[in-house]
């Protein structure tokens, strides 16, 4: 969620949705219900308690840390799988053909600008810190370059 909040495209879509008359009508209708008003009052009252507010802040920080770790794990596994697939000459040949396609290159450039892609970049940088993985990456990179 925190990463999505930093994504300009996602935020532009959210703003577009929130600016729509249908959405505003739904929100107005919901905000007038007794349950909503009660929930908002309870939330405001709870946040006035410094102990409770600190507890919620600590919980959010922990959940964000856990979420970041899970994203990193997933990106690392994806990068390791990609590196393992590159050992296959057929896959390497297919990759070389794809890199020759201008449309694929444009798509790849667009992906690189996506903030969520940074997880994969970070995973690759972490892999390069491990001498064994670094050697494997360099070997795959050399093999790939020879296919181009």
Task: Give the pLDDT mean for 65-94.
Answer: 86
Question: Residue 1's pLDDT band (boundaries 50, 70, 90)?
Answer: low
Q: Report how far Cα 81 is from the mean position of its chain's Cα atoms.
A: 18
Q: b/e string for 25-49 if b means 16 or more Cβ within 10 A?
A: eeeeeeeeeeeeeeeeeeeeeeeee
Q: In the prediction, which pLDDT does 124 show?
A: 85
Within 8 A by CB and 6+ apart from 48, the residues are none
pLDDT mean across residues, the chain: 87
Write down the pTM of the prediction: 0.53
Say whether pLDDT at 17 is over 90.
yes
Task: Give the pLDDT mean for 73-82.
Answer: 87
Question: CA–CA distance from 117 to each of 61, 103, 108, 122 (Å)?
Answer: 22, 19, 10, 9
109-144 pLDDT, tens digit each: 888 888 778 888 888 888 889 898 888 888 888 877
20-36 pLDDT, tens digit each: 999 999 999 999 999 99
Distance, in Å, from the CA atom of 30 to the CA atom of 33, rounded to the nearest integer, reads: 6
Question: Residue 61's pLDDT band (boundaries 50, 70, 90)?
Answer: very high
Task: Give the pLDDT mean for 53-70.
Answer: 91
Q: In the prediction, which pLDDT does 87 show?
A: 80
86-113 pLDDT, tens digit each: 888 888 888 888 888 899 989 988 888 8
Q: In the prediction, which pLDDT does 117 show?
A: 83
Task: Give the pLDDT mean for 69-79.
Answer: 87
Distance, in Å, from the CA atom of 144 to the CA atom of 140, rounded to the nearest integer, reads: 6
């Amino acid at each position: 969620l925190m990463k999505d909040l930093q994504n300009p495209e996602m935020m532009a879509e959210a703003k577009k949705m929130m600016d729509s008359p249908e959405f505003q009508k739904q929100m107005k209708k919901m905000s007038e219900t007794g349950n909503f008003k009660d929930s908002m009052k309870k939330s405001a009252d709870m946040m006035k308690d410094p102990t409770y507010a600190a507890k919620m802040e600590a919980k959010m920080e922990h959940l964000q840390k856990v979420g970041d770790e899970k994203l990193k794990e997933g990106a690392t596994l994806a990068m390791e799988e990609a590196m393992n697939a590159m050992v296959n000459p057929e896959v390497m040949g297919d990759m070389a053909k794809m890199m020759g396609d201008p449309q694929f290159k444009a798509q790849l450039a667009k992906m690189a600008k996506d903030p969520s892609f940074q997880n994969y970049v970070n995973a690759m940088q972490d892999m390069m810190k491990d001498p064994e993985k670094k050697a494997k990456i360099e070997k795959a990179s050399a093999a790939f370059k020879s296919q181009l």
